[in-house]
Copies of this chain bind each other. A is one copy, B any other.
Amino acid sequence: MDAFLQERRAMVEEALAAILPSPAESPAGFAEAMAHAVQSGGKRLRPVFCLACAEAAGGSASDALNAACAIELLHTYTLVHDDLPCMDNDTLRRGKPTVWAAYGEALAVLCGDALQALAFETAAATGDIALVRELARAAGPAGVIAGQVEDIRYDGHPSREVLDYVFRHKTGDLFRCACRMGAISARAAKEALAAITAFAEHFGLAFQIEDDLLDAAQSKEDAKPELSCLDLMSAEAARDWCRSETEAAVAALATPCLVSGAAQALTTLARSLISRTV
């Protein structure tokens, strides 16, 4: 599984480096701020899932490379804005200063804004308007942003309704979009796209539950209460939930309308990512 992941990650890294603006064509220091945000050691899971879903749907990873980069640029912009003082007020991300801590708040706002525009430029470079539509819906006020709005409003009094809403939109919509853009890049038929969509919806949930379990295992001191499924259930119940979403995700891939070898690789990848806690 490591080789599968590393190979696709390397494709994404190389493509992202080629997409980032050169310092020569940007105001002084701005290309550096964008590169700082994009090349900060992220795991590239969303773009790797995008490529793997393209392969499961009968295409090649390279068919989906622009779509994968568009997703990663969009994800990166949300992190840059999330870290701002008025949002999560984080000064470190993966051990490095966040964009606003390194370049100032104003430049961090603009860096995020530019990364969102670049995500759409990259999606449009495919020539496929369906990919742009998919990305815009996931990124917009009924997608990721809806989840963010509810998340920043969270006051420490959890409800299952709010949890489900934030999980579905904040993490889920972008993950679903990554997988669907992979399938669309491979010109997936309707049934294959439906299978990939079901996989993505279940696995996006499993991934978020796993993230809450991992967070709980680390000692953190947050000024602001963070929404976690563990505020509503025991760790054991969360692990059960995570397992059942993973099994539902994997079951969705067991269909003859997907390429069986590639679907198997996707299954192995999905299982390996949630094996840390469950």
**Chain A residues engaging chain B, CB cutoff 8 angstroms:** 21, 25-27, 30-31, 34, 77-78, 81, 84-87, 104-107, 109-110, 112-114, 116-118, 120-121, 123-125, 127-129, 132-133, 135-137, 139-143, 145-146, 148-150, 152-153, 165
In the complex, are the beta carbons of A27 and B128 less than 8 A apart? no
Using Cβ atoms and an 8 Å threshold, which residues of chain B touch A149?
26-27, 30, 107, 110
In the assembled complex, the CB of A119 is this many whole angstroms from the nearest CB of chain B, namely 9
Enumerate chain B residues within 8 angstroms of A118, measured Cβ to Cβ: 136, 140-141
CB-CB < 8 A to A129: which residues of B?
A: 124, 127-129, 132
Main secondary structure of the interface of A (DSSP, over half): helix
In whole Å, how far is A138's beta carbon from the nearest beta carbon of chain B?
8
Asked if A146 and B84 sit within 8 Å, CB to CB, the answer is: no
Which of B21, B81, B109, B127 makes the CB contact (< 8 A) with A87? B109
Residues of the B chain whose Cβ atoms lie less than 8 Å from the Cβ of A84 = 106, 109
Give every chain B residue within 8 A of A143 (Cβ-Cβ): 117
Contacts of A121 in B (CB 8 A): 133, 136-137, 140
Q: Find the B residue at minimum CB distance from A148.
A: B110
Report B-chain residues with C-beta under 8 Å of the C-beta of A109: 81, 84, 86-87, 109
Please determine whether A87 and B116 come into contact, CB atoms closer than 8 angstroms.
Answer: no
| Docked pose: A124 CA to B148 CA in angstroms | 23
Determine whether the beta carbon of A136 is less than 8 Å from that of B113: no
Query: CA separation between A31 and B141, bound complex, in Å?
Result: 8
